[in-house]
Amino acid sequence: MIEATSDDAKINGIARIGSQPIALATAALVIIVIGAGSIGLWRAYLGSSPEQDRIAAVRLVQARVAQASEQIAERTKGLEASQEESIDQLQVVQEQLQTLRRAVAAQQLDNKRLSEQVGDLSGAIDSLKQSFASAQAPEASGSTSIRSRHHVKKAWHHRPAKSRQ
């Protein structure tokens, strides 16, 4: 007899499996059915399927997006309101600034007018001083001569008369 070696047995075993494709296909089908059945049982046991989880996740994301959109819209409205308020305040400040500029311009005109009046008054005072000084000069010379004459007359009357006796 012929002895079969282990290499021959392996080759013959693989050859036998390859020669029976129906058995191989049946085994593969049984494995697939068992896998699908266990997945079905697992989903049934957990009570949810991945599709339902995905749908729930999508709905949650949509709700978050909607909430974020509403928050953005509210913030945008708040920013618009604060921007309008800022614009109104800026306009008020600009009007006040314009009023102050007008007031400063009017005050500068008043200062200029008053400065001119002070200059005119200073000139008038100087001319009055000069005319007063020139009017006092002749009186001063006349009054000193009158005073000196009067003083001489008094002195002459008050002299003791030595030679008259």
Q: Which range (6-10, 64-68, 146-150) has the least confidence? A: 146-150
Q: Which range (7-21, 36-50, 59-73, 132-146) has the least confidence? A: 7-21
pLDDT (tens digit per residue) in 13-22? 555 556 678 8
Q: Is the pLDDT of residue 148 over 70?
A: no
**Region class of 4: left (phi > 0), else alpha (psi between -120 and 50), else beta:** beta
pLDDT (tens digit per residue) in 47-94? 666 677 788 899 999 999 999 999 999 999 999 999 999 999 999 999
Q: Is the pLDDT of residue 8 over 90?
A: no
Give the type of residue at 94.
Q
Q: How many CB atoms lie within 10 A of CB 58?
A: 10
Q: Between 60 and 11, whose confidence is greater?
A: 60
CA distance 68 to 75: 10
Inter-residue contact 72 to 80 (CB < 8 Å): no
Say whether 49 sits in a helix, a strand or coil.
Answer: coil
Which CA distances in Å does 80 have to 35, 71, 85, 107, 163?
A: 60, 14, 9, 40, 121
Q: Which long-range contacts (CB under 8 A, 24 or more apart) does 91-100 make?
A: none
Q: Is the pLDDT of residue 108 over 80?
A: yes
Inter-residue contact 59 to 53 (CB < 8 Å): no
CA distance 135 to 128: 10
The percentage of the chain sitting over the pLDDT mark of 90, rounded to a whole number, equals: 52
Q: Between 151 and 37, whose confidence is greater?
A: 37
Q: What is the mean pLDDT of the chain?
A: 81
CA distance 31 to 44: 20
CA distance 150 to 140: 15
